Amino acid sequence: MNLFETMTEHEHEQVAFCYDQASGLKAIIAIHDTTLGPSLGGVRMWPYESEEAALTDVLRLSKGMTYKNAAAGLNLGGGKAVIIGDPSIKSEALYRALGRFIQSLGGRYITAEDVNTTADDIMLIREETQFVSGMPEYVGGAGDPSPWTALGTLEGIRVTVAKRLGQHSLNGIRIAIQGLGSVGTALCELLHEEGAQLVVSDLQESRVQAMCENFGATAVSVDEIYGVETDVFVPCALGAVINDQTLTQFRCAAIAGAANNQLLDEHTHGPQLKARNILYAPDYIINAGGVINCYYEVIQENIPEIVTAKVKGIGDTLASIYDIAEKEDIPTHQAAARFAENRIKTIGKVRSNFLGHSQM
């Protein structure tokens, strides 16, 4: 990979490589765009097969955060951090070392929890920098963002079902959920309360069993979930689940889930979904509930009623994107990109008009 060519292609502003010999930290922080405000995005820990794989992931994720934050109407740019390593091997020193690197960026990047990191890990990072979000409620933070991500995803599923199936209730709707982590589990509970029929899969059998016992879900294997005949397929695990192999298996009317970067190749797989008449809810639109929660913590207005109203607004945003896609006859992921890019361009223009003018 030619780093600077790749950064130019995707318009990244900065990439920081972080190494600390004492703690064993190997991390990459990518800042994609700060037009709307400081970049915010979580830190994930993953045993990447190579440093190039980690770099590819963080560049892709940080760009996604720019679009997510912009489309959600937040005054934030997009960033992300990845730690290369075994998630089962963590230490105070490792996260505090990362905190020092984040602090050195002077507020251009604000971190939060993500895959294989927790609120406790964020507290360790906070020992070295104030540029964190998603802290536990007992220290005045907004707490676990997962329930908010689940709530926003529920609203997105509701709008998607109405658009694709013409039904304004989720009662009796058959929904296949892939991945039963914090978000997937919370979403199962919400969907069960709405009367949806659940089909679930996860690598951890105990999670699957719990959903079957608590919510009457039907269990299938991790390989079978793609081919389940269902109304909505809901990916809530890792990304790239929409690819050449899975596209031919899908037997659903829509895909609307919380996983990031669901399209392996948006230029290929987005149009293919449209051609197969599968309505796709762009991931960074429908899964923005967690970052909305984090944003209100950052601006110190994490009032539940305000956050709830903003998260429920995800449904209205998604409906607007579906209208754009239908009117212009383009895939929904392209409509979402135009929606986000328009806000970045507009607000960027507003701000640039006042550069060099003193404030009265």
Instruction: Of 338, 295, 337, 332, give the one whose Cα is nearest residue 313.
Output: 295
Alpha helices in the chain, H assignment, sequence order: 3-10, 51-71, 92-104, 119-126, 146-165, 182-193, 205-215, 244-247, 266-275, 283-286, 289-298, 304-312, 314-328, 332-352
Q: How far is CA 279 from CA 110, 156, 195, 313, 348, in A?
A: 33, 12, 22, 20, 31
**Residue 55 to residue 297: CA distance in whole angstroms:** 28
Take residue 341 and report the two structure tokens written for it: 């890019």
DSSP codes of every residue in 56-74: HHHHHHHHHHHHHHHHTT-
Selected catalytic residue, list 80, 90, 163, 310: 80
Please count the residues of the chain.
360
Alpha-carbon Rg for the chain in angstroms: 20
80 is a catalytic site residue: yes
What 3-state DSSP class applies to 343? Answer: helix
**Residue 83 to residue 25: CA distance in whole angstroms:** 7
Can you name the residues that pair with 203 across neighbouring β-strands? none
- Tracing tokens 């602090």 back to the chain, one arrives at 103
110 and 134 Cβ atoms separated by less than 8 Å: no
**Residue 122 to residue 319: CA distance in whole angstroms:** 34
Can you name the residues that pair with 254 across neighbouring β-strands? 232, 279
Active site residues per annotation: 80
